[in-house]
Amino acid sequence: MVTQNVVYRPGSLEEAYRLRTDTGALPLAGGTDLMVRYRKTAGLVPDPGRPVLFIGHLKDLRRVEERAEEVRIGSCTTYTELLSQKAVPEILKRCITLLASPPIRNRGTVGGNICNSSPAGDTLPVLHALECSLVLGNIRGERTVPIDRFITGPGENALSEDEILKEIVIPKAAFSGWCYRKIGTRRANALAKISFAGLYLIESGEVHDIRIAIGAVAPTVVRSREIEKTIIRIPRTSLQRSTVEMAARYRPLIRPITDQRSTTGYRAGVTLVLIEQFLTAVLQKKG
């Protein structure tokens, strides 16, 4: 008995929406997560147990558009393509150069990273820090959801059975600097033990904006606007707490696990030091 996988290769986004509604087919962008998740014994074709909808080739999903207030990234734009786009923020490019390896980057997409919703997805903390929103479309229309409300748990998100992630919208904002760190075991093709994204804006001696987002240390990306608010627009000279104390406020939010890649103690301890160092660096900046 040979199970024949049904695959659809729509000619347009419209058709993709229709096929998705009619057949419940599973979208496949670059396939770098799906082909691994559904792999079988060597020599057998991966089988997700439902029809597959190829969307990676659709022009409408594979573009970068710069507008006055925002940058719109088509969900199926590959990492390699993003690296050559001027409009893509530097922090995201830095993240991409540390993600997987060239062959995977030639196929893998940001849309796939978001919809896979793994706690170790490298672009997720960056996209959280950039306060992206996601345009989800179906045959009837579109809706826009902020990324922090889209991803709800490890491998869980708010995508409906008939929807496709169409675009990632990055609002333009002024920053005076950023920091991205990925702690992995090897320099290529290694999943993160911790990933850290930090952005800040300093004007006339005051922190006008600071955003800290951390991946792989809790079921979803850790970001706290509340803690960030305790730093924003407070003259640095009157900041009451030391950076160590400020970082310690993240402690209850950092809930990493011990697994095959690292330990709870290491992940939590190193994360707090990364936060502390970032805060120190920001607060020492002139501006």
Partner 1 sequence: MKEKKKDSTAVRGGTASTSRASISGPVPRQDAPGKISGVASYIGDLCFEGMLYARTLRSTVPRARIVSIDIPAMPEGYFVVDARDVPGKNGVHMLTDEQPFFAEERVNYVGEPILLVTGPERGKIDQILRGIRVEYEEIPPVFGEEDSKNPRIPPLFGERNLFCEYEIRRGEVEEAFFDADFVFEGCYHTGAQEHVYLEPQGTAGVFDGERVTVYGSMQCPYYVKTALVGGLGWKEDRIRVVQATTGGAFGGKEEYPSIIAGHVAFAAIKTGRPVLLVFDRAEDVVCTTKRHPSLIRMRTAVDDRGAIRGMEIDIALDGGAYVGLSPVVLQRAMFAATGVYRIPCIRVKGRVFATNSVPTGAFRGFGAPQAFFAVEMHMHSLAEKLRKDPLEFKRSYLLSMGDPTVTDGRMKQEVPLPRMIDRLCKLSGYEKKHRAYKKEKTRRGIGVSLFFHGCAFTGSGEKDKIKAKVLLKKEDDESVSILVSNVEMGQGAQTTLKKIVAETLGCGLERVRYDNPDTDRVPDSGPTVASRTVMIVGGLLAKAAGRLKRRMDEKGEVKIEERYVQPPHIEWDQDTFTGDAYPVYSWGANAVEVEVDPVTFEVRVIGVWGIYDVGTPIDERIVGGQIEGGISQGLGYATIELLQKENGRLRQKNLTDYIIPSSMDFPDPVYELFSSSYEHGPFGAKCAGELPFVGVAPAVAAAVQNAIGRPVRRLPVSPEYLFEAEHDED
Ligand X SMILES: Cc1cc2nc3c(=O)[nH]c(=O)nc-3n(C[C@H](O)[C@H](O)[C@H](O)COP(=O)(O)OP(=O)(O)OC[C@H]3O[C@@H](n4cnc5c(N)ncnc54)[C@H](O)[C@@H]3O)c2cc1C
User: Quick one: what does residue 100 bind among ligand X, partner 1, none, with the CB cut-off 5 to 8 Å set by partner type?
Assistant: ligand X
In the bound complex, what is the minimum distance in angstroms from residue 39's beta carbon to ligand X? 10
Q: Cα(257)–Cα(267) distance, rounded to whole angstroms?
A: 8
DSSP codes, 158-171: ---TT-EEEEEEEE
Q: Cα(33)–Cα(30) distance, rounded to whole angstroms?
A: 8
Nearest to 105 by CA among 95, 96, 118, 114: 96
The residues pairing with 182 across neighbouring beta strands, listed in sequence order, are 195
Q: Which residues bind ligand X (CB under 6 A)?
A: 26-34, 36, 55, 75-76, 99-100, 104, 107-109, 111-113, 115-116, 121-122, 159, 164-165, 189, 191
The residues pairing with 141 across neighbouring beta strands, listed in sequence order, are 138
The residues pairing with 213 across neighbouring beta strands, listed in sequence order, are 197
User: Quick one: what does residue 202 bind among partner 1, ligand X, none, with the CB cut-off 5 to 8 Å set by partner type?
Assistant: none
Nearer to partner 1, 46 or 287 (CB): 46
In the bound complex, what is the minimum distance in angstroms from residue 170's beta carbon to ligand X? 16
Single out the residue of 84, 204, 238, 260 in contact with partner 1 (rule: CB under 8 A). 260
* 3: contact with partner 1 by CB under 8 A: yes
Nearest to 219 by CA among 185, 192, 254, 250: 254
Q: How far is CA 60 from CA 13, 33, 101, 171, in A?
A: 7, 22, 26, 20
3-state DSSP assignment of residue 26: strand
Binding mask 44-83 for partner 1 (x = CB under 8 A): x---------------------------------------
Q: What's the burial of 161, exposed, middle or buried (CB within 10 Å: 0-12/13-18/19+)?
A: exposed
Within residues 104-163, the interface with partner 1 by CB under 8 A covers none
* 97: contact with partner 1 by CB under 8 A: no
Among the candidate windows 78-86, 126-134, 231-239, 271-279, which touches partner 1 by CB under 8 A? 271-279
* 189: contact with partner 1 by CB under 8 A: yes
In the bound complex, what is the minimum distance in angstroms from residue 136's beta carbon to ligand X? 8
Alpha helices in 130-216 (DSSP H): 147-150
Residues in touch with partner 1 (CB under 8 A)? 1-3, 36, 40-44, 101, 183, 185-191, 259-263, 265-266, 269-270, 273-274, 277
